[in-house]
């Protein structure tokens, strides 16, 4: 098991028990890009240098600073900073660094998606804490509530929600860092100009029927990152020096009037058949693009280091 991201106490009134938090997500993408020089093919490295060196000698490379020479600074006046040492941040007196004190309980449906930020697995610290953990989990499950408190990590204090995991066989709890109200933009600024229209009852019924026909149980395993697959195909094509299949997307016709009722009716009646035919079609390859690539060819950028050439300083 991975190391816990945070360890501490969950405190509900006089009841408290130790828990460990583990980040519930991980980056699965295997595609990694580096910045390289277009001219030499060498990897570009970024170094931290003092701003004065660049201002005094903009054409010359500045001397890179050691990690130990860099400290956090807060600009309290233009060009003037107060420095903050890592140890000073560690010693800040914030109770939520070590304990999640539950301040209230809310209905699960009150935790709307725009406030949810990142999920965590919550597990008891050890077997001694398991009883209190299990009782609180069962109570949250029965009441369909979530516990709200605060937790400090990652350089800030977060609102934190604790809820029972849906899988009763596992008997776990989930935690979610949440956004503060002031972090969310005002939806009225974006929705206020939407034209108000009367919803036609027949259109509504057809739309509801379309939703009903396409409704199914959520299965997250069905969703894959097609962008990563396309990038991988592009990379492989460049390595093998072969043309990359491209899909031609028909441009939307401007000024075309779409009858909503007809579109809904056709979707409900013939939607499944249309989707079946679409699934059988293979992505079209642009003949023009393919011919151009075959004529021009695709080349790899070779590193100056590997080719024995290096630009002199």
Which DSSP string do the residues of 89-104 spell out, in sequence order?
HHT---GGGTEEE--E
Are 99 and 184 in the same domain? yes
Mean pLDDT of the chain: 82
Please identify, among 215, 237, 266, the residue that sits at the C-terminal boundary of a domain.
215
Same domain, 87 and 172: yes
129's tokens: 């804490």
Domain of 18: which CATH number?
A: 2.40.290.10
Same domain, 162 and 294: no
Model pLDDT, residue 309 = 47
| Stretch (H or E) spanning 10 | strand 6-12
Is residue 44 included in any domain, yes or no? no
In a domain, 48, yes or no: no
Answer for the pair 233, 36: CB distance below 8 angstroms, yes or no. no
> pTM surpassing 0.75?
no
Do the domain assignments include residue 186? yes
Q: Which helix (H) or strand (E) holds 73?
A: strand 72-77
Q: Are residues 139 and 205 in the same domain?
A: yes
* Cα end-to-end span (Å), the chain: 48
Give the span between the Cα atoms of 91 and 101, in whole angstroms.
20
pLDDT band of residue 246 (cuts 50, 70, 90) is confident
Number of domains in the chain: 2
Q: Are 100 and 10 in contact (CB under 8 A)?
A: yes
In terms of residue numbers, what domain contains 10? 1-25+74-215
Residue 204 half-sphere exposure, CB side, CA atoms within 13 Å?
A: 5
State percent of the chain over pLDDT 90: 43
Instruction: Please tell me whether residues 171 and 121 are part of one structural domain.
Output: yes
Mark whether 12 and 104 lie in a shared domain: yes
Q: Is residue 58 part of a domain?
A: no
Token pair 């229209």 is at which residue? Answer: 197
């Amino acid at each position: 098991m991975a190391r816990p991201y945070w360890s501490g106490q969950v405190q509900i009134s006089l009841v408290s028990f130790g828990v460990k938090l583990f980040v519930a997500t991980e980056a699965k993408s295997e595609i990694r890009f580096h910045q390289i020089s277009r001219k030499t093919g060498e990897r570009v490295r970024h170094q931290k240098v003092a701003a004065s060196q660049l201002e005094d000698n903009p054409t010359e490379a500045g001397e890179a600073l050691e990690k130990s020479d860099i400290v956090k600074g807060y600009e309290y006046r233009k060009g003037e900073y107060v420095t903050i040492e890592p140890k000073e941040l560690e010693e800040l007196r914030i109770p939520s660094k070590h304990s999640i004190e539950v301040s209230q309980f809310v209905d699960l449906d009150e935790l709307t998606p725009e406030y949810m930020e990142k999920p965590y697995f919550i597990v008891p610290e050890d077997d001694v804490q398991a009883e209190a953990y299990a009782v609180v989990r069962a109570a949250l499950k029965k009441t369909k509530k979530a516990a709200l408190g605060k937790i400090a990590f990652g350089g800030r204090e977060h609102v934190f929600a604790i809820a029972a995991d849906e899988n009763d066989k596992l008997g776990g709890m989930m935690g979610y860092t949440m956004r503060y109200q002031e972090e969310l933009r005002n939806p009225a600024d974006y929705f206020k100009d939407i034209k108000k229209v009367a919803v036609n009852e027949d259109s509504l019924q057809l739309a509801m029927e379309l939703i009903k026909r396409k409704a199914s149980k959520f299965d997250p395993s069905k969703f894959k990152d097609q962008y990563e697959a396309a990038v991988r195909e592009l990379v492989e094509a460049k390595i093998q020096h072969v043309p990359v299949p491209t899909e031609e997307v028909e441009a939307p016709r401007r000024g075309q009037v779409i009858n909503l009722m007809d579109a809904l009716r056709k979707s409900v009646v013939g939607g499944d058949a249309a989707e079946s035919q679409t699934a059988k079609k293979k992505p079209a390859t642009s003949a023009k693009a393919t011919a151009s690539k075959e004529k021009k060819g695709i080349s790899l950028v070779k590193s100056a280091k590997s080719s024995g050439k290096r630009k002199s300083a």
